[in-house]
């Protein structure tokens, strides 16, 4: 049992999902004989070395070595923990993940933390109708009841300890509040609510679970004074109301450089997403969703990071970065471009939309409506145009020196693009604009499918395991007692365990078989054997498997005979051992070259 998810459920799940479907929804695959191939999503490459085997239900990259089952692919590609990857796969095929108790091994279980943050979100939601100021602000910004409910918008009232009183109550709960970033401490060690007198926006992960909050001040007046007027216990007087937006700190669940506000809502509204828009503020996101453009997300108080761009391009092939047209907006756009460059594999495109001075998506949608903003999105500047325009804005491209400067600026950036058509075209465009050959540093091409390694010489036991992993159904014809178990060589017990497991689960596929060892020391070795090429048709592989078992039994006989012979020379054989040795010598087995 993995954590509290039964092994039997993981078996059933891997039997229900098709790894080709799982990967093809995220990476474009092409048929290549019995397998499917693509450029590896885990490293940059020009020629495909990433293979997906429907028969094994396994993926492997001959370039970087990445490999595993559908669960492992989701863990690596979506950066999920094992339970989350299982949950996402289960949802895709309409299964519900069961939980079992009885696992006393230490493990990182954040269930209580998720539950606490959800309770906090509900508490803030219930506080919203109680605040006339918050209600007036929502009305002023045009937020309807459906939008407020969809984004779970709430209100953090004044006072030091609203959340602490509502959700604390025990040392364990207090510790969770602190771990979740819901409380802070002053220099004297006194705890107080981190969020006070703010409109609250829950930040959700890709499964819709609350992992953090953003809070917005709705008035420029000092909150302490407002609290006193409302009869709420005053805070320490302060001259400034604090930052306009305040986000949760980094916690075990929340890493602002990876998360995007409203990505959950975007995915809920768009089963198939062709385009996603990145804006700067929570209210900009919400205004676009309410206007009928549920394709907007926002970063969380930080510049666009490489992790953000990877998440964005996994969500949609086209990403539009929408910024103010001022200096700060253009600086933020350039950082987004630099983060996007290494992730612009073929099929992905980035665009940049700069808004008029004094405008943001919220105000523009109010003025121009959905159709007007759609026109702006369609007219967004492609990355290539913005790239060369920005690099050349202070360069005289009419002069030789200016063109040389442009080439020197552009070359290292173009070199960061993944190998592919877009990189080639960007290099050609640079040469067209400057006349300078765009010689780019390239890393050695990884081993491709046509350069698959030859089958390395393996021990007989490892060969038998590799063949069994290729054809788990062959175990049905192996009868107990296993004669090869008498062979004293590494891996024999593991082979017997694999055969037992395959026999006990008829129809088990190779990926399911290997996943049973995910928490054991043998797992990496089994994954490597699974990824190794096993040549031949299925029937040939089965025949080779049984031949390997037969030869292992012969080796066991030879090994036993040699041991008894040595013991006989020492004069320490008992009568039973003498009789056994006579039988073995009478039925002498001559070792083949492969057995020596």
Q: Give the 3-state secondary structure of 80-148.
A: CCHHHHHHHHHHHCCCCCCCCCCCCCCCCCCHHHHHHHHHHHHHHHHHHHHCHHHHHHHHHCCCCHHHH
Q: Count the neighbouring beta carbons within 10 Å of the beta carbon of residue 30.
A: 11
Give 480-493 pLDDT, tens digit per residue: 888 888 888 888 99
Could you give the 3-state DSSP secondary structure of residue 204? strand
Phi, psi of 274 (to 5 degrees): -95, -25
C-alpha distances (whole Å) from 246 to each of 242, 267, 313 are 8, 25, 27
**Residue 13 pLDDT more than 70?**
yes
State the Cα–Cα distance between residues 250 and 233, nearest whole angstrom: 28
Q: Per mean pLDDT, which range of 126-130, 264-268, 385-389 is the poorest? A: 264-268
**Residue 29 pLDDT more than 60?**
yes
- Give CA torsion, residues 324, 299, 71, 494, to 10 deg: 120
Give 451-488 pLDDT, tens digit per residue: 443 334 468 898 899 888 888 989 998 988 888 888 88
State the Cα–Cα distance between residues 178 and 331, nearest whole angstrom: 35
The residue-averaged pLDDT of 222-243 equals 45
C-alpha distances (whole Å) from 195 to each of 31, 89, 121, 216, 275 are 53, 36, 12, 9, 34
The answer to whether 555 touches 594, Cβ cutoff 8 Å, is: no
The residue-averaged pLDDT of 275-299 equals 96
Give 326-357 pLDDT, tens digit per residue: 888 999 999 999 999 998 977 789 999 999 99
- Return the exposure string of 457-472: e unless at least 16 CB atoms fall within 10 Å of the residue's CB, then b: eeebbbbbbbbbbbbb
The answer to whether 528 touches 503, Cβ cutoff 8 Å, is: no
> What is the CATH superfamily name and number for domain 111-247?
DNA primase, catalytic core, N-terminal domain (3.90.980.10)
Give the H or E element holding residue 60. Answer: strand 58-61
What pLDDT shows up at residue 238? 44
The answer to whether 67 touches 441, Cβ cutoff 8 Å, is: no
320 bridge partner residues = 277, 351
User: Per-domain residue ranges for the chain?
Assistant: 7-92, 111-247, 263-391, 400-434, 460-595
What pLDDT shows up at residue 109? 58
Residue recorded with tokens 């109010």: 366
> What is the CATH superfamily name and number for domain 7-92?
Zinc finger, CHC2-typedomain (3.90.580.10)
What pLDDT shows up at residue 99? 67
Crossing angle (nearest 10°) for helices 361-378 and 282-290: 60
The answer to whether 355 touches 379, Cβ cutoff 8 Å, is: no
What pLDDT shows up at residue 100? 62
Give 175-193 pLDDT, tens digit per residue: 999 999 999 988 887 889 9
Summary mean pLDDT of the chain:
85
State the Cα–Cα distance between residues 475 and 482, nearest whole angstrom: 11
284 bridge partner residues = none
- The two tokens of residue 337 are 């471009």
What pLDDT shows up at residue 241? 59
Give 65-90 pLDDT, tens digit per residue: 888 899 999 988 877 778 888 988 99
User: Can you say whether residue 347 is alpha, beta or left, with left for phi > 0 and alpha for psi between -120 and 50 degrees?
Assistant: left
**Can you spell out the DSSP letters for 232-291?**
PPP----SS---SEEEPPP-SS--TTT--BTHHHHHHH-SS-SEEEEES-HHHHHHHHHT
Q: Among residues of the chain, what percentage have pLDDT more than 70?
A: 88
For residue 481, cis peptide bond before it (omega within 30 degrees of 0): yes
Find the angle CA(494)-CA(495)-CA(499) to the nearest 5 degrees.
115
What pLDDT shows up at residue 181? 95
**Can you spell out the DSSP letters for 319-342?**
EEEEEESSHHHHHHHHHHHHHHGG
Q: Specify the CATH architecture of the domain 263-391.
A: 3-Layer(aba) Sandwich (3.40)
Give 400-451 pLDDT, tens digit per residue: 999 999 999 999 999 999 888 899 999 999 999 999 876 665 443 344 434 4
What pLDDT shows up at residue 443? 42
Highest mean pLDDT among 37-51, 113-127, 582-596: 113-127
Give 357-395 pLDDT, tens digit per residue: 989 999 999 999 999 999 999 999 999 999 999 999 889
> In terms of DSSP bridges, do strands 349-355 and 381-382 run parallel, antiparallel, or are they unpaired?
antiparallel
The domain made up of 460-595 is a member of CATH 3.10.310.10: no
Q: Count the neighbouring beta carbons within 10 Å of the beta carbon of residue 2.
A: 18
* Distance spanning both ends of the chain, measured CA to CA: 40
State the Cα–Cα distance between residues 346 and 351, nearest whole angstrom: 15
**Residue 142 pLDDT more than 90?**
yes
């Amino acid at each position: 049992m993995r954590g509290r998810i039964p092994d039997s459920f993981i078996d059933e799940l891997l039997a229900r999902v098709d790894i080709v479907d799982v990967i093809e929804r995220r990476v474009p695959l092409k048929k290549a004989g019995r397998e499917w191939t693509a450029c590896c999503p885990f490293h940059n490459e020009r020629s495909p070395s990433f293979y997906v085997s429907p028969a094994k239900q396994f993926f492997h990259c001959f370039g970087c070595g990445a490999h595993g089952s559908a669960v492992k692919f989701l863990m690596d590609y979506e950066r999920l923990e094992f339970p989350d990857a299982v949950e996402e796969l289960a949802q895709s095929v309409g299964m519900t993940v069961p939980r079992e108790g009885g696992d006393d091994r230490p493990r990182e279980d954040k269930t209580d933390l998720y539950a606490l943050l959800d309770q906090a979100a509900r508490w803030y939601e219930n506080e919203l109708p109680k605040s006339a100021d918050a209600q007036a602000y929502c009305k002023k910004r045009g937020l309807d009841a459906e939008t407020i409910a969809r984004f779970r918008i709430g209100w953090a009232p004044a006072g030091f300890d609203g959340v602490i009183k509502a959700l604390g109550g025990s040392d364990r709960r207090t510790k969770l509040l602190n771990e979740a970033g819901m409380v802070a401490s002053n220099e004297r060690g006194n705890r107080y609510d981190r969020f006070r007198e703010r409109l609250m926006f829950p930040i959700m992960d890709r499964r819709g679970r609350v992992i953090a909050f953003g809070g917005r001040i709705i008035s420029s007046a000092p909150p302490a004074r407002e609290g006193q007027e409302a009869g709420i216990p005053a805070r320490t007087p302060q001259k400034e109301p604090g930052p306009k937006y305040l986000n949760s700190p980094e916690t075990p669940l929340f890493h602002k450089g990876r998360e995007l506000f409203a990505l959950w809502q975007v995915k809920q509204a768009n089963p198939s997403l062709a385009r996603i828009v990145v804006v700067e503020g929570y209210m900009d996101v919400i205004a676009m969703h309410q206007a009928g453009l549920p394709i907007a997300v926002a970063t969380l108080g930080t510049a666009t990071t490489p992790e953000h761009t990877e998440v964005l391009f996994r969500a949609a092939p086209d990403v539009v970065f929408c910024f103010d047209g001022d200096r700060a907006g253009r600086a933020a756009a350039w950082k987004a471009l630099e983060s996007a460059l290494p992730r612009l594999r073929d099929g992905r495109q980035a665009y940049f939309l700069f808004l008029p001075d004094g405008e943001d998506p919220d105000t523009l949608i109010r003025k121009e409506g959905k159709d007007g903003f759609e026109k702006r999105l369609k007219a967004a500047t492609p990355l290539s145009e913005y790239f060369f325009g920005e690099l050349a804005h202070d360069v005289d491209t009419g002069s030789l020196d200016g063109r040389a400067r442009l080439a020197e600026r552009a070359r290292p950036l173009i070199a960061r693009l993944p190998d592919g058509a877009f990189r080639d075209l960007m290099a050609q465009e640079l040469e067209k604009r400057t006349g300078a050959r765009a010689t780019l540093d390239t890393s050695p091409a990884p081993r491709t499918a046509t350069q698959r390694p030859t089958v390395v010489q393996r021990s007989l036991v490892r060969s038998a395991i590799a063949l069994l992993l290729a054809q788990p159904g062959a175990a049905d014809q192996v009868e107990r007692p296993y004669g090869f178990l008498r062979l004293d060589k590494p891996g024999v017990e593991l082979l017997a365990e694999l055969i037992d497991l395959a026999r006990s689960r008829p129809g088990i596929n190779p990926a399911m078989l290997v996943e049973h060892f995910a928490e054991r020391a043998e797992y990496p070795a089994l994954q490597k054997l699974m990824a190794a090429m096993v040549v031949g048709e299925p029937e040939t592989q089965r025949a080779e498997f049984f031949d390997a078992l037969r030869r292992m039994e012969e080796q066991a006989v030879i090994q036993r005979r040699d041991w008894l012979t040595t013991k006989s020379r020492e004069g320490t054989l008992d009568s039973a051992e003498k009789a056994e040795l006579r039988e073995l010598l009478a039925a002498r087995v001559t070792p083949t070259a492969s057995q020596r």
